[in-house]
A and B are shown apart, each in its own frame.
Chain A
Amino acid sequence: SAVISQKPSRDICQRGTSLTIQCQVDSQVTMMFWYRQQPGQSLTLIATANQGSEATYESGFVIDKFPISRPNLTFSTLTVSNMSPEDSSIYLCSVPETGQTQYFGPGTRLLVL
């Protein structure tokens, strides 16, 4: 099973600033996913990050707001740009596992003031 770490685990940021979240996997994976979970809500897929290509964004999410990097097969970053209080959420990365399940990182809890 994959072990996934995320940094930071939590942060409090001022509106208008940007935060970059890191996701590190202990094995090489082709695909990584980034999710957002707004307070009291379910998970919503932001984008799929494949190594060596541009990330694929879901409807309602754009690269200018959520730029993603995928420099190698074990690492990805998600940046939340020009933050507003509405961006306060838990951000989670995940990787697919055999049998179509997913392993999730522990999440980054973001509060924007």
Chain B
Amino acid sequence: SQQGEEDPQALSIQEGENATMNCSYKTSINNLQWYRQNSGRGLVHLILIRSNEREKHSGRLRVTLDTSKKSSSLLITASRAADTASYFCATHGGYQKVTFGTGTKLQVIP
């Protein structure tokens, strides 16, 4: 299975702190994506990083990708209570199929 594994499974931080989540995957990829899910609702796409990219930024989000280690990290800077959610990495396989990681549950305490 190409499913990614994320760590930590759960993370609790104070508002204003940075949150880092890591994702490892098993096979070669075209790209890796990060999604957010608020309280069991639908997923929202956050950012996509291609296999030939090493780092990407979007607002308070910073994603890194190390294809040699088959790993990625998502950094959320200056966290807010509204960032409380589950975060999933997802790897893109063939024919539009996306495989999701196990997820990190982030709690930001006001």
Q: Is the CB of B40 within 8 A of A109?
A: yes
A106 interface residue (CB < 8 Å to B): yes
Give the number of chain B interface residues (Cβ < 8 Å): 23
Question: B80 in the interface, Cβ–Cβ < 8 Å?
Answer: no
Given A92-B43, A101-B45, A104-B44, do A42 and B102 touch, yes or no (CB 8 Å)? Answer: yes
**B98 interfacial by beta-carbon distance below 8 Å:** yes
Q: Chain A: which residue is nearest B89 at the CB level?
A: A42
> Is A57 interfacial (CB-CB < 8 Å)?
no
Query: Which residues on A sit within 8 Å (CB–CB) of B30?
Result: 100
User: Which listed residue (A31, A45, A107) contacts B42, Cβ 8 A?
Assistant: A107
A90 touches B40 (CB 8 A): yes
Binding site for B on A (CB under 8 A): 4, 31, 33, 37, 41-45, 48, 90, 92, 94, 96-97, 99-107, 109
Sample 13 A-B pairs with CB under 8 A, ordered by A number: A4-B42, A37-B40, A41-B102, A42-B100, A43-B100, A48-B96, A92-B42, A97-B45, A99-B48, A100-B31, A100-B33, A102-B98, A103-B45
B residues in contact (CB < 8 Å) with A: 3, 30-31, 33, 35, 40-45, 48, 88, 92, 95-103
| 10 tightest Cβ-Cβ pairs between the two chains A and B | A104-B42, A106-B42, A104-B43, A43-B100, A101-B45, A42-B100, A96-B96, A100-B92, A42-B102, A107-B42
